[in-house]
Structure 1
Amino acid sequence: MADIKVTLAAERNTPPSEDVLGFGKIFTDHMFVMDYITGQGWHNPRIVPYGEVPLYPSAMVLHYGQAIFEGIKAFRTIDNRVAIYRPVDHLNRLNRSAEILCIPKLDVELLHKGLNQLIDIDRQWVPAPLGTSLYIRPFVIAADPYIGVKVADHYTYFVILSPVGAYYASGFKPVKIKVEQYYARTVKGGLGEAKTPGNYAASLKASEEAKKEGFTQVLWLDAVEKKYVEEVGTMNIFFKIDDELITPELNGSILAGITRRSVIEAARDWGMKVTERRIAIEEIYAAHSQGRLREVFGSGTAAVISPVGELSWQGKKIIINNNQTGETSQKLFDYITGIQQGRVDDKFGWIHEVANLHK
């Protein structure tokens, strides 16, 4: 495994107070960088001061969008350890996205080592209050200075770190979701399974229109029949009908969420029936009219669990669980965040502690 060269910042910044963090606006002192050139492979892994990077205006990523990324979180536990939530699962998913975007595979062991070393150097930036975390953004861009559609020969891999505040600043409350009937985000055989910037660009128009109508996010239906539920803008989606927890199956157009996997594993461990299958929006509305739709919630890295109190489809609004957070949603949120913060036993091995090498 390649050695990681470390160049520390000449001056270290003081982390801000937790009440001004927000999300994705503040960055730590250092970043991890590594290069790829065809014929040489991935090389020159290094930790350097966070700052601007040289990039030609002809860089292929700017014109053809060959890029991938991940979103991971690290937490300061109640006993002052720093722990990353399911880092290897995230890095393996990064490689799946790389495969889809024709980006050369990365060495997960090296990425994991670099991630740990980077966070250890900037560990003072990991906030402590309940709900806060260190957001970790690994990403790869095609860096060739070339105008022409082809697979790139030069890539750069980065990891940047951002301390973030509590996602639910005003409390853990249900959100309003619009079921999108007109726009399409992706199709099976497209990029929907990859975590790539184009997927998020494709969601902006529908999301902006939904926000103007008073909704938090949109729920996407399949692009072909506009019938089957897929995912929310930044989350996977779950429906509790009777005592069964149902989530759309991974079909090539849905992101394989890491928190989604945690929800499924935890719920099954509790003895709940969890089913991954195609589910039509008509079935959701029928279950509601029959009094069988008990809860709806999203799952994702940023929110962990996001209860849904209202769905609107074709102008027909339904209220779920009297617009209150459901028992299962609350239990999953408390359980997963409890593991992340070291308050609940990590029986699944989801947490990786960052060794303190700079005591």
Structure 2
Amino acid sequence: MTQHANGLGFTRRPNENPRSQAEREAVLANPGFGDHFTDHTAVVDYKVDPGGAGGWSNARIEPYGPILMDPAAAVLHYGQEIFEGMKAYRHTDGSIWTFRADANAARFNASARRLALPELPEETFLDSLRELVTADREWVPSRDGDALYLRPFMIATEAFLGVRPAREVSYRVIASPAGNYFGGELKPVSIWLTTTYARAGEGGTGEAKCGGNYAASLAAQLEAEAHGCKQVLFLDPHNDNAVEELGGMNIFFVFGDGTLVTPELNGHILHGITRSSVLQLAADRGMTIQERKITIDEWRSGVDSGAITEVFACGTAAVITPIGELKTADGSIASPAQGIGEVTAAIREQLVGIQTGAVPDLHGWLTRLA
């Protein structure tokens, strides 16, 4: 057992049939995104006792494999679950680090509160990452642009069909080697504007990172793919069709006067950790930061007049991706920049550089995992 200060002790049960070095190297040569998984998983159990007190226990590393679950488990019927997304990066000295893990831990607990799930101690969240990455450190890619994607998640496992918060819960972490989210070299992507669907509503779960939000976006995603687009953009139809976010990414607008604009957080929009990092790095560059309402009409007129010079999206999986075209039922808005804009490229290079250890981490964002 590994005992961590102020946290639970993790027991380790190694996978007796791990992938061979040749199998692992074949995966790492072309990892894709979310297609392959490492040999182990981290697990911690939660249960409310007859007296009404709940607690976390039985922290462990065990072989990756199917989850044995009762057909009446609450997660299968009421969708009581949350998740996070983050990456582990191998630095040139062989050490392995993750980026802003404290922010992920805080957002995970904010999501837990919204979905009526128990909060997980931050130290246990961080220890689970360290334990899993230590067990599967050979799975962390070393190729430029690749990383080990980490997926912490929490599911309600109690077998009970009454509508109330579950009293038995499982916290888990799985890991997957990851390449470029959109595949191949970085290039602008086309996105589709849906006017049929909304991602979230007032008082809903838009700020929580839960599967239901993503399930609700899939019909719109299919609509986008039918129009040859990689992602879908959602609006707030009750606020002058204000731009909100993509299905899984936040959006930014670069203005020629040195201003960076992104939709303000309003209870519907996910508190993106990459989003907040971009805002900080842009401020460090001396840009004027505006978190405010921006409409489709302003987007169109800004591109037409030359006021908007670049548009990009950001998220953990894709980091930063330039937007080449917004397609709508009434025509399209072309990219104001040819290829990858100067500001987009500079912020992306700095952000990836910090994550991989090539650029100094002036904000203390990195946490060593192994």
TM-score by length of 2: 0.93
| Structure 1 partner of 2:3 | none
Q: In the alignment, does 2:25 pair up with 1:16?
A: yes
| Structure 1 partner of 2:180 | 166
Of residues 210, 214, 235 in structure 1, which corresponds to 2:249? Answer: 235
Q: In the alignment, does 2:143 pair up with 1:108?
A: no
Superposition deviation, residue 216 in structure 1: 1.2
Of residues 10, 29, 34 in structure 1, which corresponds to 2:44? Answer: 34
Paired residue secondary structure (1:245): strand
Superposition deviation, residue 322 in structure 1: 4.4
Partners of 2:188 and 2:66 in 1: how far apart?
A: 39
Whether the 8 Å CA contact 1:26–1:163 is kept in 2: the answer is yes
Paired residue secondary structure (1:176): strand
Of residues 280, 286, 291 in structure 1, which corresponds to 2:306? Answer: 291
| Structure 1 partner of 2:216 | 202
Partners of 1:21 and 1:329 in 2: how far apart?
A: 25
Q: In the alignment, does 2:94 pair up with 1:80?
A: yes
Cα deviation digits, residues 87-138 of structure 1 (max 9, x gap): 1111111001001101111101111112112101110100100111100000
Partners of 1:144 and 1:283 in 2: how far apart?
A: 49
Superposition deviation, residue 168 in structure 1: 5.2
| Structure 2 partner of 1:137 | 151
Q: In the alignment, does 2:232 pair up with 1:218?
A: yes
Superposition deviation, residue 16 in structure 1: 3.3
Structure 1 residues 298 and 27: CA distance shift in structure 2, 3 A: same
Partners of 1:165 and 1:283 in 2: how far apart?
A: 34
Paired residue secondary structure (1:221): strand
TM-score by length of 1: 0.96
Q: Which blocks of at least 5 consecutive residues in structure 1 are unaligned?
A: none
| Count of matched residue pairs | 355
Of residues 193, 206, 212 in structure 1, which corresponds to 2:207? Answer: 193
Partners of 2:317 and 2:354 in 1: how far apart?
A: 15
Superposition deviation, residue 241 in structure 1: 2.1
| Structure 1 partner of 2:330 | 315
Paired residue secondary structure (1:202): helix
Partners of 2:29 and 2:264 in 1: how far apart?
A: 39
Structure 1 residues 223 and 57: CA distance shift in structure 2, 3 A: farther
Partners of 1:117 and 1:352 in 2: how far apart?
A: 13
| Structure 2 partner of 1:98 | 112
Cα deviation digits, residues 10-62 of structure 1 (max 9, x gap): 23323233233111121111111111111241111111111122101111100
Paired residue secondary structure (1:285): helix
Paired residue secondary structure (2:37): coil
Q: In the alignment, does 2:48 pair up with 1:25?
A: no
Partners of 2:13 and 2:69 in 1: how far apart?
A: 21
| Structure 1 partner of 2:83 | 69
Of residues 246, 252, 258 in structure 1, which corresponds to 2:273? Answer: 258
**Which amino acid in the other structure matches residue 303 of structure 1?**
A
Q: Which blocks of at least 5 consecutive residues in structure 2 are unaligned?
A: 1-6
| Structure 1 partner of 2:345 | 330
Structure 1 residues 191 and 111: CA distance shift in structure 2, 3 A: same
**Which amino acid in the other structure matches residue 7 of structure 1?**
R
Superposition deviation, residue 288 in structure 1: 1.5
Q: In the alignment, does 2:291 pair up with 1:276?
A: yes
